[in-house]
């Protein structure tokens, strides 16, 4: 690419998450927050010598000021940012030879501040100044310190359920007393100035009442009717349930509940046998919930993990930004535990199945099931993950093959809004379940009028799927092999 074309691209590129443009007149102290914000977030490029309106003014006007700008990553950022600097020769807007400065800022594992000890984070096209709470959250996210190790104010060993500790010790083969385990392993209990301090991980994993100290360490599950969230008079919330307790307890309880909300689709194979497939592979929605529990930022006290279940998609919202060097573009390959002790615990209980491989497997299983890839979005200290089901589209495109039903494969009384073909399959499923069922019983079970039941039976007979052996009383149905 020619230098002229490169300059034109830099002048026209919109500012965003990883790109900013500044005039050469910018003060070094004002450039530092931008460099810090890029380093603390995803990295990026700062182009200096191009005005907001795209005019190329260059950087050759004042060598002393240029030297001051070049010092910014090293002398104005704490710790220093390892920036890569290059110049691109060009002609400025007056037609004179000049240069543009491109400063590449790499994503950093450290938390950086300016000389005034202010931390910034890149959000869209803005360099956002972080308050104290957000700064600590970023500190934990980068793994410079773990919030799960921080002592919980006013907590004592009396707040620990030793039976839960004993059960875990048995699980991992630890033979000493549970109190000994807590005091000698994983910094669950530490001494400061002769006083025992209980860690956040200990309370969250073994506490008698974890929500006493972490009120929003909960999982809230909201089931909506339809495909979108509505408010006011059109509010479409069907269920709104909160799960509390230890992390293990609320994870298991929430997974059990979600299993009752995931639809299953039953289709009739060419061999006249039914096949059932879930709306989403179980591993995928389990992985999202477990990841939210394991990797959420527990220093964010004001919100829960929220699971939103719609007819055609499922959303999991987890407090915290992506941890460590994990970003949206590398989430399948890069693994980082924000809470390594919690992660190990959940792994020991076989909820975290594959360290560092679960997200990639989730993508592969969604693809194998014919669903779109999982979607991740990072908002202001909130990660949102979405699973989308394509089964409803399949049901519309090929109603001879698919029937939407509730988990458990129930067929009775759930026919409202179904197509004629759907009801034919409902009738057939009932016959498969009970070959001796009568037309009256079929009507009672399925909620379909007796005359309509007979039409579906006639259709199944005509298609060579079933036949009747014997009379109406004492006879039975036979499922035929389709040729």
* 475 domain residue, yes or no: yes
* 406 domain residue, yes or no: no
Q: Which residues pair with 160 in a beta bridge?
A: 207
Residues 44-79 have pLDDT tens digits of 999 999 998 889 999 999 999 999 999 999 999 999
pLDDT at 422: 66
**Cα–Cα distance measured from residue 310 to residue 222, given in angstroms and rounded to the nearest whole number:** 9
Can you read off the two tokens belonging to residue 227? 């495909």
pLDDT at 421: 63
* 139 domain residue, yes or no: no
Listed ranges 187-196, 210-219, 328-337, 395-404; the one with the highest mean pLDDT: 210-219
pLDDT greater than 60 at residue 5: no
pLDDT at 447: 73
pLDDT at 399: 34
pLDDT at 121: 93
Q: Which domain holds residue 449?
A: 411-479
CATH of residue 244's domain is: 3.30.565.60
346 in the same domain as 225: yes
251 in the same domain as 296: yes
Residues 370-394 have pLDDT tens digits of 889 999 998 878 999 999 998 654 4
**Cα–Cα distance measured from residue 297 to residue 293, given in angstroms and rounded to the nearest whole number:** 9
- Residue where a domain terminates, one of 66, 98, 130: 130
* 135 domain residue, yes or no: no
336 in the same domain as 268: yes
Residues 396-434 have pLDDT tens digits of 333 333 333 333 333 333 333 445 566 787 788 788 877
Which of 472, 451, 386, 459 lies closest to 422 in space, CA to CA? 459
79 in the same domain as 65: yes
Can you read off the two tokens belonging to residue 399? 């109603």
- Residue where a domain terminates, one of 213, 247, 270: 213
> Kind and range of the H or E element at 479?
strand 476-479
pLDDT at 123: 84
Which of 49, 55, 45, 44 lies closest to 12 in space, CA to CA? 55
* 290 domain residue, yes or no: yes
Are 223 and 307 within 8 A, CB to CB? no
Q: Residue 273, Cβ neighbours under 10 Å: how many?
A: 11
pLDDT at 418: 46
460 in the same domain as 442: yes
The stretch 134-141 carries a mean pLDDT of 84
**Cα–Cα distance measured from residue 54 to residue 7, given in angstroms and rounded to the nearest whole number:** 10
pLDDT mean across residues, the chain: 86
Query: What confidence category does residue 481 fall into, taking pLDDT thresholds of 50, 70 and 90?
Result: low
345 in the same domain as 198: no
Length of the chain in terms of residues written: 483
Can you read off the two tokens belonging to residue 30? 């004002």
pLDDT at 400: 34
Residue 321: C-alpha distances to residues 13, 284, 377, 407 (Å): 26, 21, 10, 33
Residues 302-340 have pLDDT tens digits of 899 999 999 999 999 999 988 888 888 888 888 888 899
- Residue where a domain terminates, one of 76, 103, 130: 130
Residues 76-106 have pLDDT tens digits of 999 999 999 999 999 999 999 999 999 999 9
> Kind and range of the H or E element at 315?
strand 313-319
CATH of residue 449's domain is: 1.10.10.10
270 in the same domain as 299: yes
Give every CB contact of residue 314 below 8 A, 6+ residues apart in sequence: 280, 285, 288, 307, 308, 386, 387, 389
Q: What are phi and psi of 424, to 5 degrees?
A: -60, -40
Residues 247-287 have pLDDT tens digits of 999 999 999 999 999 988 776 666 667 777 889 999 999 99
pLDDT at 401: 35
**Cα–Cα distance measured from residue 99 to residue 252, given in angstroms and rounded to the nearest whole number:** 60
pLDDT at 406: 36
293 in the same domain as 379: yes
CATH of residue 93's domain is: 3.30.950.30
**What is the signed CA dihedral for 457, 459, 465, 469, rounded to 10 degrees?**
40
Structural domains counted in the chain: 4
The stretch 175-184 carries a mean pLDDT of 95
pLDDT at 4: 60
pLDDT greater than 60 at residue 12: yes
The stretch 435-445 carries a mean pLDDT of 79
251 in the same domain as 189: no
373 in the same domain as 324: yes
pLDDT greater than 90 at residue 138: no
226 in the same domain as 351: yes
Radius of gyration over alpha carbons of the chain, in Å? 30
206 in the same domain as 100: no
Burial of 407 (0-12, 13-18, 19+ CB in 10 A): middle
Strands (E), 49-132: 77-78, 84-91, 97-105, 113-114, 120-123, 126-129
């Amino acid at each position: 690419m020619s230098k002229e074309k490169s300059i034109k691209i830099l002048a026209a590129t919109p500012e965003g998450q990883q790109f900013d443009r500044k005039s050469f007149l910018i003060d070094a102290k004002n450039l530092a927050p931008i460099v810090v914000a890029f380093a603390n977030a995803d990295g990026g490029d700062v182009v200096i010598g191009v005005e907001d309106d795209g005019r190329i003014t260059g950087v050759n006007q004042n060598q002393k000021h240029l030297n001051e700008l070049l010092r910014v990553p090293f002398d104005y950022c704490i710790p220093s940012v390892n920036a890569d600097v290059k110049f691109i020769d060009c002609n400025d807007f007056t037609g004179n030879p000049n240069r543009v400065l491109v400063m590449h800022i790499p994503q950093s594992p450290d938390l950086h501040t300016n000389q005034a000890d202010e931390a910034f984070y890149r959000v869209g096209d803005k360099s956002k100044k972080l308050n104290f709470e957000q700064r600590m959250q970023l500190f934990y996210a980068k793994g410079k310190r773990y919030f799960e190790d921080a002592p919980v104010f006013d907590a004592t060993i009396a707040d620990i359920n030793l039976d839960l500790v004993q059960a875990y010790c048995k699980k991992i083969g630890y033979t000493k007393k549970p109190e000994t385990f807590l005091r000698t392993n994983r910094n669950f209990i530490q001494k400061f100035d002769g006083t025992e301090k209980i860690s956040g991980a200990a309370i969250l994993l073994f506490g008698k009442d974890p929500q006493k100290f972490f009120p929003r360490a909960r999982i809230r599950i909201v089931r909506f009717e339809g495909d979108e969230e509505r408010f006011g008079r059109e509010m479409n919330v069907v269920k709104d349930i909160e799960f509390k307790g230890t992390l293990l307890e609320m994870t298991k309880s929430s997974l059990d509940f979600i299993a009752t909300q995931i639809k299953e689709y039953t289709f009739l194979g060419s061999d006249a046998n039914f096949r059932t497939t879930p709306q989403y592979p179980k591993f995928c929605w389990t992985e999202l919930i477990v990841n939210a529990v394991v990797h959420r930022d527990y220093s964010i006290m004001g919100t829960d993990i929220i699971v939103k279940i719609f007819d055609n998609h499922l959303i999991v919202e987890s407090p915290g930004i992506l941890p460590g060097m994990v970003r949206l573009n590398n989430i399948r390959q890069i693994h980082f535990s924000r809470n390594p002790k919690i992660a190990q615990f959940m792994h020991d209980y076989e909820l975290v199945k594959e360290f560092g491989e679960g997200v990639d497997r989730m993508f592969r299983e969604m693809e194998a099931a014919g669903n779109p890839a999982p979607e991740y979005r990072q908002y202001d200290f909130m990660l949102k993950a979405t699973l989308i089901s394509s089964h409803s589209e399949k049901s519309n495109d090929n109603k001879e093959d698919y029937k939407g039903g509730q988990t458990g494969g129930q067929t009775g009384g759930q026919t409202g809004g179904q197509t004629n073909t759907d009801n034919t399959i409902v009738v057939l499923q009932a016959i498969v379940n009970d070959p001796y069922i009568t037309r009256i019983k079929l009507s009672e079970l399925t909620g379909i009028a007796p005359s309509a039941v007979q039409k579906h039976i006639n259709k199944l007979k005509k298609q060579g799927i079933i036949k009747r052996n014997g009379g109406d009383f004492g006879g039975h149905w036979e499922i035929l092999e389709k040729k």
